[in-house]
Amino acid sequence: MSEVKNTAASSCASSGEFIPKIVMFCCNWCSYAGADGAGVSRFQQPANVRVVRVMCSSRVDPVHIYTAFLEGADAVLITGCHIGDCHYVNGNDKTLVKYKFIKSMLKEMGMEDERLMLRWISASEGQQFAEFVTEMVEKVKALGPSPLRKEGVV
Amino acid sequence: MSAPENTAPAGAPPAGKPPEKKPPAPSTVGDILKPSDIAVGGKYIGWSVREEIRKEGGSGGLVTSVLAGALEKGLVKHVVVLKKSNQYEAVPVLTSDVEDVYASAGSMHMLISNPTKYLRQFQNDAAIALAVKPCDMRGIREQQKRNMLDLDKIFTVGLNCGGTMMPYKIRKVTEEVYGVNPDDVRAEEIEKGKLILETADGEHHSQSIDELEEEDNGRRENCRYCVVKIATNSDLACGNWGVMPDYAGKGTFVEVMTEKGAEFLRNAIEGGYAEVKEASEPAAEARGKVNGIMLKMSAKTKEEIFVPMQSQTILDLKKELENCIGCGACKTVCPPCACGAEAKCTSFNDPADNYDISLFHMIRFLHLMDSCIGCGQCSDVCPAEIPLARLYRKFANPMQDELNYVTGMDDRTPPFFEIKLEEVQ
Amino acid sequence: MTNANAVGAVAVIGGGIAGVQSALDLANSGYRVYLIESKPSIGGVMAQLDKTFPTLDCSACILSPKLVEASRHPDIKLMTYSEVTGLSGDAGNFTLTVKKKTRYIDIDNCVGCGDCLAKCPKKVDDEFEEGLSKRKAIYFQFPQAIPKVVTIDPDNCLMLKNGKCGNCAKVCQRGAVKYDLKDEFEDIEVGAVIMATGFEAFDPAILESYRFDHPDVVTALQFERYTNASGPFAGHIQTSKGELPKKIAFIQCVGSRNPEIGKAYCSSVCCTYAVKQSRLIKDHHPEVDVAVFNIDLRTFGKGYEEFALRAQDDGIRFINSRPSGVDVKNDGALSLRYEGSESEVVHEEFDLVVLSIGLQAPKSSVRLAEILGVALDKYGFVKTDLETPTETSRAGIFTAGVAQGPKDIPESVAQASGAASKAGALLNEARKSLETIAEIPPENPIGDEPRIGVIVCRCGTNIGGVVDVPAVVEYASALPNVVIAAEEMYSCADDTQSRIYDMIQDYKLNRFVVAACTPRTHEPLFQQTCQEAGLNPWLFEFANIREHCSWIHHDEPKNATHKAKDLVRQAVGKVKYYTPLYSQSLPLVHNAVVLGGGVSGLTAANELAENGYEVDLIEKTGELGGNVKKLQSYKARLDAIIQKAESNGKIHIHYNSMMEDVSGSVGNFRGKIMTAGKPVKELDFGIIIIATGAHELKQPGLFGYEDNPIVRTQLEFKEMVDKNEGGFKNVVFIQCAGSRNDERPYCSRICCTNTVRNAIQYKEQNPDAEIYVLYRDIRTYGMYEEQYTKARESGIHFMMYDKDEPPAVTGNTVAVHDRTINLHFSLDADCVVLSAATVAEAGNRDVGPMMKVPLTKDGFFMEVHPKLRPVDFGTDGVFVCGLAQFPKLFEESVSQAQAAASRACTILSRDALLSPAELSSVDESVCVGCGACQDVCPYHAITLEEKTVTQKGLSFKAVRSVINPAACKGCGCCAMSCPTGAIDQSHFDNVQLLSQVKSVFYFEEEVN
């Protein structure tokens, strides 16, 4: 890879230490609000997660998840309202069904299936959000880079 | 008639001729049945009333006569028949001519094309009848779940299937293993685990199927681990397993699976096309036993093939797929795939992304997890010779096993589209 | 009733959930609303709650969207931190004087950045956290406060008190802190007033025996904060020593059912909230012992009994005893004194004691009632009549929620909608006279190439203190398609909006990105700015670099800056694929259908007609009145309601009729009215209210019913009593006959109240009669508790039996085991009255599927959300009220019927239906009609239809998915389920989301 020109990026990449990059899908009504709540309460968490907001976790297409992995995500997290609390009646139930499939698929592909996680986080669970992020970053650090991660991606 | 009836591999009890030392056991009891005797769930032995059909159609020509009766009496507008282009290949043809139906009588073990996709093109508002292998029917049912086919307008006669062979491969085998010119072959037969070829000079050439398969010269791989051997998903499940010695070669075992099946069978009896008798208990048992042995063998093959695959890594997968040229043939032939040319797997697969594994395959793997019927056509058509069927099954097996869901057999909503999976709760 | 000169505005006093609901209903029905709240933020007590029963929904999650909606509504004017000080005029034309207390903050300049909070030196008890933690003297009432502006607490501010400090003013870069501001008074003109002033929690300090002074004796409201993940202990239940308590006791009826302290009523909610809190404890710590000390367990609401049963399964102990007190031992340990099952005194130690405090009228309500001129009852709740549960003693002033009496959230919300309907009907002539009509400037042509502008907000030090904002701006400027990037100190400030406006014009921008805080609160503001600048609001995208970045990576500025760049790149990656979106205007039929001619159906029809809409009322029998038509004591009230309906020209009553073959969706339903089995009318209608009622269980053999002539049901008995018939000497009531059993686990709610009422009535007619009530728990909630007390005082005997040992009726004797005193009795009876269960109509099973609405397993209609949308369904335009939803009393049916009408008015009052802009849509050339989308859509918005499709120049007929924009809510699950990608959700479409995902990743070499 060519020389690093960007200071912020180099600070992360140049040390040679593995810095996980995690894509997280958050439903607008619960988990995104939970993430906001974590912010409001200043629950500190590692800066490895990039949130993609969707209206409902059931919008998250396997294609989005695969793309994230193929692009080089070390983990993909999906979060939504607790079962029974879905803003759209039963979106999270449907998410759960799809999740089961994708999880099984990753496993069969020979990836660590922990790289995909689904968690229900409500708007008031800022703490849980921060804990989940922290826990996942630790887990991914232990797993090491995703086998699909391309060299040089920051 | 078309399609394989008795591709019983080695080890399976011979179907067709009586064991020589035992006295013949009665396979049927009582009299020729009246149309009103036919009921769903009933198991019968039947045959065509026309002698030449009985002769042509290996086991009594019942299937041919039911189809002919349905066409002539107007239960269906068209019948899909297979027109042989040679001893090894045939093309499906939609016909309204009963002579075409009679002409198609006879067994064929080499056929591989799954008619599901043709049916989508054939079917208009008129009712169609056809004979199907279990996997054909599984494809039809999966398409029906996706609103692509209207099962009310399709009448299917299911045929027992122990497996199929690739025409090009059997030609090769004929030449190389049997030492026979493929164009001289006039008939083929499976007996006592042997594949017997009859040449124009009347000579019989035989080889053990087991041995053939050891060299991958036998049945297609997916057939060797297929889990549906009797087409109980069709309207009438027919075949010669369970045909006891007294009727061997002269009768077909038929189980009526649906009300529609009963109606068609009654029609064939009423119209003077076929005769049936009640199948005896031992006959039904014998049929179950053959099926059981076949399934056991499939399970063994499944384990042999897929257990080692469990330890495959993502690099192995990448390697398997690296020769893909992106032609999309696997998707085009795929019986359960309901999508048109433009689908998620094709439209999001941008080669410019240069991904380690093509998104096309990733999406296909996922979509087939709950719908793959294991027909194996993807492997057949792949110009890069990627063992796609094996890969699809690798992903589909654990999910279908876990959900206890056999595609094309189970009437549940495709699990991927369920709101709540029972098993997930 | 209508007033031609009425003012088309309503003042709603109280910004709790009831007030907010009234405000939203009215504003959505064409009225201007002033929502007056005395606290700095709207939200009320519900904002403090952790979870809500029986669904255990997160309270904040379900409340916040309503609060945000209220704050954004163009026709709702929030007047927070304000009090009503005067009222003049009459119904239709009131003038209300409102004191706007000063916050010492120029609220137009405060952007809610909170920089001032950090510098304030004064810490005081946080009221929102019930004193469990501290806040500053300058504060937000709670983190999600609406409006998000700070308030200075003058009693604690060092500057205001001593003239020293002034830190907040110094640190505020907006100059918003102004210590010399004064209270202001404003007169507002309104046609009606709704008093939704809520309650105060009972202060247990006066009940000294409960030792509220001990740090481990807490109120239930405090305990809400204990379990709340964002509470002072982050959801960790702990004693004052910081340990997990091993044993927790709940003491019920603290400040309720206690005439000695002037609280003779039942607070209605405490039993179920105690069950909820107990279950939350058990959820987290199954090993903790939880005991709930109660007199009767009153879980009478829909699903509440089942909820309590699960609590029993969880191992929570329910003890039928009211502890006489809490003893503090020498070592500080807490011990409860109570009567055990053998009438012995038990002492049991607990680590934490939760007092289930009751609801009481706010002290301020006396003064407010004087100003408004409305009568209060002796407890300070607003006085209403049985048939007019939302009307105060003064015309034009309505009430809702706990202001009118203790009740839980669903009933408060229903009553709030009901009050809105009454106010709306009163002011019908003036509807829409003051409605805001938004003027949308013409849109600039957007061209082909994305031209993106980016603003990166410093938010004072909130972002700027952590993230290197100039570096992010520089980075953003270099991204493809970004034409201009700039930083702002406060991007949400007014002056910034004009700069954004100029930027869009000057640089001919066709997309815009703001990197600042959360879209959940600020997106509409910037969308509006974009719109004013001629940019379609859906061409705007937010990057959240505050909540999701600077605030949570405070100690890693470099990583935070790196992430902020990623987030901006993601936003740019997504926004460039945005396209303009527009709401569709859909036609709407402005009339209604009401199914059922009982009290609920009649009331709903009357309300709708008074609000100006035509109603077809469909009654399956030959007469109106439903369950109460045979009862003499309700005759006058019922006749009045029937007379009103019959005389209103807008109401068309169909007897012996049913509705069949309903098709269509909100605004455009069509159905067939069948009268006596024949179709008589094909009807188009906009909404439908299901008020099909329920009936009393008449189960042969139940306690000898139908076999034994002395056994009759409550309604049969009531009919006799109303006629002063009977002459029985010994009457035995058996409660829970057919309810709360394995077949029907629910509590039928109304039977206890009916029993005590009927028993008193009978006792008054026959003073010598001996009356026994055999019960499991007496559930005379709210003010009905007074009747229970009265019944006991008048010599009616109450005996508690156990579920597993029900009374046995043989001939003229009733055998019962009184579990309280553990004695068996054999009672003489010449009349046995069964408080028979209320059971759902079998016909619901037909109506449900026809209207695409669900039923509970007991066959009642299942509203879309049991807490905040008690009369709505997921299917828009269909509403439910009365016993069809769940058993309820006359007055509750009335207020719920009004609620259903009010909700209906929010639709019927519009000129046309507006679909949301971010809907799903179908590409017919890609769709194969497989129906996967249809199966997953929770709103039945997708149908498969035969269409003529043109593809590659060929036209043919094929089945394709069709989305009904009136029903689609934009969740996008169809887009995910579609195997072909033919369905996509606009604004979150596959191309946009994939671009956003891909933008997360880049190679080092791509950076600059």
Question: Do B104 and B144 sit in the same domain of this protein?
Answer: yes
Does residue B80 fall inside a structural domain?
Answer: yes
Question: Do C709 and C798 sit in the same domain of this protein?
Answer: yes
Q: Tell me which residues of chain C, numbers 135 to 154, contact chain A at a CB-CB cutoff of 8 Å.
A: 143-144
Question: Do C857 and C963 sit in the same domain of this protein?
Answer: no
Question: Do C468 and C558 sit in the same domain of this protein?
Answer: yes
Domain count, chain B: 2
Q: What is the mean pLDDT of residues C589-600?
A: 96
Question: Do C949 and C933 sit in the same domain of this protein?
Answer: yes
CATH number of the domain residue C978 falls in: 3.30.70.3270
Distance between CA atoms of B205 and B211, rounded to whole angstroms? 15
Query: Under an 8 A CB cutoff, do B314 and A62 touch?
Result: no
Question: Do B277 and B350 sit in the same domain of this protein?
Answer: no
- CA distances to C109, C176, C450, C501, C533 from C498, in Å: 15, 19, 22, 5, 9
pLDDT of A5 above 60 = no
Determine which helix (DSSP H) or strand (DSSP E) holds C31, and give its type and residue range.
Answer: none
- Among C327, C359, C391, the domain-final residue is C359
Q: What is the mean pLDDT of residues C96-105?
A: 97
Question: Do B156 and B284 sit in the same domain of this protein?
Answer: yes
Query: Would residue B307 be called left, alpha or beta, if left means φ above 0 and alpha means ψ between -120 and 50 degrees?
Result: alpha
What pLDDT is recorded for position B351? 86
pLDDT of C714 above 90 = yes
Chain C residues whose beta carbon lies within 8 Å of the beta carbon of residue A129? none
**Closest chain A residue to the Cα of B393, Cα to Cα:** A108
Q: What is the mean pLDDT of residues C512-518?
A: 95
Smallest Cβ–Cβ distance between A104 and the set B344, B356, B399 belongs to B399
Alpha helices in A2-77 (DSSP H): 7-13, 31-40, 62-71
Q: Is B401 on the interface with A (CB under 8 A)?
A: no
Query: Under an 8 A CB cutoff, do C972 and A122 touch?
Result: no
What's the alpha-carbon Rg for chain B, to the nearest Å? 21
- Among B297, B327, B349, the domain-final residue is B297
Query: Under an 8 A CB cutoff, do A85 and C58 touch?
Result: yes
Query: Under an 8 A CB cutoff, do C936 and A94 touch?
Result: yes
Does residue C442 fall inside a structural domain?
Answer: no
Distance between CA atoms of C554 and A43, rounded to whole angstroms? 9
What pLDDT is recorded for position B423? 60
pLDDT of B15 above 70 = no
Does residue B285 fall inside a structural domain?
Answer: yes
- CA distances to A113, C80, C241, C428, C817 from C397, in Å: 61, 20, 50, 15, 50
Residues 6+ apart with CB under 8 A from B275: B32, B33, B46, B47, B49, B269
Q: What's the gap in Å between the CA of B161 and the closest CA on chain C? A: 29
pLDDT digit string, tens, across residues B341-375: 899 999 999 888 889 999 999 999 999 999 999 99
Q: What is the mean pLDDT of residues B267-279?
A: 93
Residue of A65, A122, A153 best to disrupt the C interface, most CBs of C under 10 A: A122
Amino acid type, B57: G
CA C861 to chain centre: 18
Q: How many interface pairs between B and C have CB atoms less than 8 angstroms apart?
A: 48
Strand residue runs (E) in C780-916: 797-800, 808-810, 813-818, 823-828, 831-836, 838-840, 878-880, 913-914
pLDDT digit string, tens, across residues B379-395: 999 999 999 999 999 99
Does residue C688 fall inside a structural domain?
Answer: yes
Does residue C631 fall inside a structural domain?
Answer: yes
- Chains within contact range of chain C (3+ C-beta pairs < 8 Å): A, B
Query: Under an 8 A CB cutoff, do C979 and B343 touch?
Result: yes
pLDDT digit string, tens, across residues C824-864: 999 999 999 999 999 999 999 999 989 988 899 899 999 98
Closest Cα partner for C488 from C427, C548, C438, C546? Answer: C546
Weakest-pLDDT range from C151-160, C204-213, C431-440: C431-440
Query: Under an 8 A CB cutoff, do A63 and B314 touch?
Result: no
**Residue range(s) defining the domain that contains residue C896:** 591-693+850-908
Smallest Cβ–Cβ distance between C229 and the set A50, A67, A127 belongs to A127
- Among C407, C436, C465, the domain-final residue is C436
Question: Do B319 and B287 sit in the same domain of this protein?
Answer: no
What pLDDT is recorded for position B20? 43
Chain B residues whose beta carbon lies within 8 Å of the beta carbon of residue C935? 413, 417, 419
Residue of C228, C237, C463, C552 best to disrupt the A interface, most CBs of A under 10 A: C552
Distance between CA atoms of C49 and C59, rounded to whole angstroms? 6
Q: Long-range contacts made by residues B281-284, C-beta under 8 angstroms, separation at least 24?
A: B282/B25, B282/B27, B282/B244, B283/B27, B283/B28, B283/B43, B283/B45, B283/B242, B283/B243, B283/B244, B283/B253, B284/B43, B284/B242
Smallest Cβ–Cβ distance between C566 and the set A50, A60, A125 belongs to A50
Distance between CA atoms of C481 and C500, rounded to whole angstroms? 17
Does residue C914 fall inside a structural domain?
Answer: no
C-beta atoms surrounding C131 within 10 Å? 15
pLDDT of C739 above 60 = yes
Weakest-pLDDT range from B181-185, C129-133, C151-155: B181-185
Closest Cα partner for C754 from C825, C868, C836, C829? Answer: C836
Query: Under an 8 A CB cutoff, do A105 and B369 touch?
Result: yes
- CA distances to A121, B57, B122, B129, B409 from B261, in Å: 53, 20, 21, 11, 16
Question: Do B124 and B61 sit in the same domain of this protein?
Answer: yes
**Closest chain C residue to the Cα of A120, Cα to Cα:** C58
**Cis-peptide into C580, omega within 30 deg:** no
pLDDT of B424 above 90 = no
Q: How many interface pairs between A and B have CB atoms less than 8 angstroms apart?
A: 80
Question: Do C904 and C926 sit in the same domain of this protein?
Answer: no
Does residue C979 fall inside a structural domain?
Answer: yes
What pLDDT is recorded for position C4? 67
Amino acid type, C278: S
pLDDT of B110 above 80 = no
Question: Do C657 and C718 sit in the same domain of this protein?
Answer: no
CA-CA-CA-CA dihedral for C143, C149, C153, C156, to nearest 10: 70
Distance between CA atoms of C368 and C98, rounded to whole angstroms? 12
Q: Is B39 on the interface with A (CB under 8 A)?
A: no
Weakest-pLDDT range from B206-210, C502-506, C767-771: B206-210
CA-CA-CA-CA dihedral for C502, C506, C511, C514, to nearest 10: -40
Q: Is A120 on the interface with C (CB under 8 A)?
A: no
Q: Tell me the percentage of chain A whose pLDDT exceeds 70.
A: 90
CATH number of the domain residue C552 falls in: 3.40.50
Query: Under an 8 A CB cutoff, do A63 and C549 touch?
Result: no
Does residue B96 fall inside a structural domain?
Answer: yes
CA B218 to chain centre: 16
- Among B236, B271, B297, the domain-final residue is B297
Question: Do B278 and B362 sit in the same domain of this protein?
Answer: no
- CA distances to B110, C14, C331, C381 from C85, in Å: 94, 14, 51, 19
Q: Tell me which residues of chain B, numbers 279 to 318, contact chain A at a CB-CB cutoff of 8 Å.
A: 312-317
> What is the separation, in whole angstroms, between the first and last Cα of chain A?
11
Question: Do B251 and B378 sit in the same domain of this protein?
Answer: no
pLDDT digit string, tens, across residues C300-332: 999 999 999 999 999 999 999 999 999 999 999
**Residue range(s) defining the domain that contains residue B148:** 28-165+219-297
Q: Coil, strand, or helix at residue C608?
A: helix
pLDDT of C2 above 90 = no
**What is the sign of the dihedral through the CA atoms of B259, B262, B268 and B272?**
negative
Phi, psi of B321 (to 5 degrees): -95, 0
Structure token digits, residue B119: 């049916």
- Among C520, C545, C575, the domain-final residue is C575
Structure token digits, residue C1001: 């990743």
Question: Do C177 and C187 sit in the same domain of this protein?
Answer: no
What is the residue-averaged pLDDT of chain C?
Answer: 94
Render B318-350 in DSSP notation, one character per residue. Answer: HHHHTT-----HHHHH-TT----SS-HHHHT--
- Do C472 and C564 contact (CB within 8 A), yes or no? yes
pLDDT digit string, tens, across residues C161-175: 999 999 999 999 999
Residue of B313, B314, B372 best to disrupt the A interface, most CBs of A under 10 A: B314
- Do C394 and C231 contact (CB within 8 A), yes or no? no
Determine which helix (DSSP H) or strand (DSSP E) holds B156, and give its type and residue range.
Answer: strand B154-159
Question: Do B106 and B237 sit in the same domain of this protein?
Answer: yes
Domain count, chain C: 7
Distance between CA atoms of C994 and A52, rounded to whole angstroms? 10
Does residue C126 fall inside a structural domain?
Answer: yes
Does residue B271 fall inside a structural domain?
Answer: yes
Determine which helix (DSSP H) or strand (DSSP E) holds B238, and give its type and residue range.
Answer: strand B236-239
Question: Do B283 and B386 sit in the same domain of this protein?
Answer: no
pLDDT band at B18 (very low <50, low <70, confident <90, very high): very low
CATH number of the domain residue C145 falls in: 3.30.70
pLDDT of C125 above 60 = yes
pLDDT band at C45 (very low <50, low <70, confident <90, very high): very high
Chain B residues whose beta carbon lies within 8 Å of the beta carbon of residue C926? 340, 342-343
Q: What is the mean pLDDT of residues B65-83?
A: 93
pLDDT of B14 above 70 = no
Question: Do C431 and C480 sit in the same domain of this protein?
Answer: no
Q: What's the gap in Å between the CA of A142 and the closest CA on chain C? A: 20
Question: Do C736 and C826 sit in the same domain of this protein?
Answer: yes
Does residue C444 fall inside a structural domain?
Answer: no
CATH number of the domain residue C332 falls in: 3.50.50.60
pLDDT digit string, tens, across residues C799-830: 999 999 999 999 999 999 998 888 999 999 99
Amino acid type, C843: G
Chain B residues whose beta carbon lies within 8 Å of the beta carbon of residue C959? 147
Distance between CA atoms of B379 and B363, rounded to whole angstroms? 17
What is the residue-averaged pLDDT of chain A?
Answer: 87
Q: What is the mean pLDDT of residues C883-900?
A: 96
Q: Tell me which residues of chain C, numbers 899 to 928, contact chain B at a CB-CB cutoff of 8 Å.
A: 925-926, 928
Q: What's the gap in Å between the CA of B79 and the closest CA on chain C? A: 23
Distance between CA atoms of B101 and C652, rounded to whole angstroms? 65
Question: Do C67 and C188 sit in the same domain of this protein?
Answer: yes
Mean pLDDT comparison of A16-20, B169-173, C89-93, highest-scoring range? C89-93
pLDDT of B192 above 80 = no
Q: What is the mean pLDDT of residues B39-45?
A: 95
Q: Coil, strand, or helix at residue B11?
A: coil
CA atoms within 13 A on the CB side of C697: 25
Q: What's the gap in Å between the CA of A88 and the closest CA on chain B? A: 13
Q: Long-range contacts made by residues C380-387, C-beta under 8 angstroms, separation at least 24?
A: C381/C405, C381/C406, C382/C195, C386/C637, C386/C890, C386/C891, C386/C894, C387/C637, C387/C640, C387/C641, C387/C890, C387/C891, C387/C894
Q: What share of chain C is helix, strand, coil (3-state, %, to 5)?
A: 30, 25, 45
Question: Do B139 and B231 sit in the same domain of this protein?
Answer: yes
Q: What's the gap in Å between the CA of B329 and the closest CA on chain C? A: 17
Question: Do C539 and C567 sit in the same domain of this protein?
Answer: yes
- Among B269, B297, B325, the domain-final residue is B297
Q: Is C640 on the interface with A (CB under 8 A)?
A: no
Query: Under an 8 A CB cutoff, do C930 and B148 touch?
Result: yes
Q: What is the mean pLDDT of residues B417-421?
A: 89
Question: Do C208 and C355 sit in the same domain of this protein?
Answer: yes
In chain B, how many H helices and how many E strands?
16, 12
Weakest-pLDDT range from A32-41, B192-201, C132-141, C314-323: B192-201
Q: What's the gap in Å between the CA of C1002 and the closest CA on chain A? A: 5
Q: What share of chain B is helix, strand, coil (3-state, %, to 5)?
A: 40, 15, 45
Smallest Cβ–Cβ distance between A59 and the set C62, C549, C972 belongs to C972
- Do B64 and B48 contact (CB within 8 A), yes or no? yes
Distance between CA atoms of C1005 and C1008, rounded to whole angstroms? 8
pLDDT of C557 above 80 = yes
Question: Do B320 and B389 sit in the same domain of this protein?
Answer: yes
pLDDT band at A154 (very low <50, low <70, confident <90, very high): low
**What is the sign of the dihedral through the CA atoms of B157, B158, B160 and B166?**
positive
Residue of C67, C236, C542, C971 best to disrupt the A interface, most CBs of A under 10 A: C971
What's chain B's length in residues?
Answer: 425
- Do C227 and C52 contact (CB within 8 A), yes or no? no
Q: What's the gap in Å between the CA of C934 and the closest CA on chain A? A: 13
CA atoms within 13 A on the CB side of C60: 25
pLDDT band at B184 (very low <50, low <70, confident <90, very high): confident
Query: Under an 8 A CB cutoff, do B353 and A70 touch?
Result: yes
- Chains within contact range of chain A (3+ C-beta pairs < 8 Å): B, C
What pLDDT is recorded for position B23? 38
Q: Is B418 on the interface with A (CB under 8 A)?
A: yes
Q: Coil, strand, or helix at residue A113?
A: helix
Q: What is the mean pLDDT of residues B220-237?
A: 94
Question: Do B135 and B39 sit in the same domain of this protein?
Answer: yes
Q: Is C939 on the interface with A (CB under 8 A)?
A: yes
Closest Cα partner for C303 from C62, C50, C53? Answer: C53
Q: Tell me the percentage of chain B whose pLDDT exceeds 90.
A: 57
Query: Under an 8 A CB cutoff, do B419 and A148 touch?
Result: no
Smallest Cβ–Cβ distance between C979 and the set B344, B413, B419 belongs to B344
ipTM: 0.90
Does residue B150 fall inside a structural domain?
Answer: yes
**Closest chain A residue to the Cα of B414, Cα to Cα:** A97
Query: Under an 8 A CB cutoff, do C548 and A35 touch?
Result: yes
Domains and CATH numbers, chain A: 19-143 (3.40.50.960)
Distance between CA atoms of C518 and B255, rounded to whole angstroms? 65
Q: Tell me the percentage of chain C whose pLDDT exceeds 70.
A: 99
Distance between CA atoms of B146 and B332, rounded to whole angstroms? 16
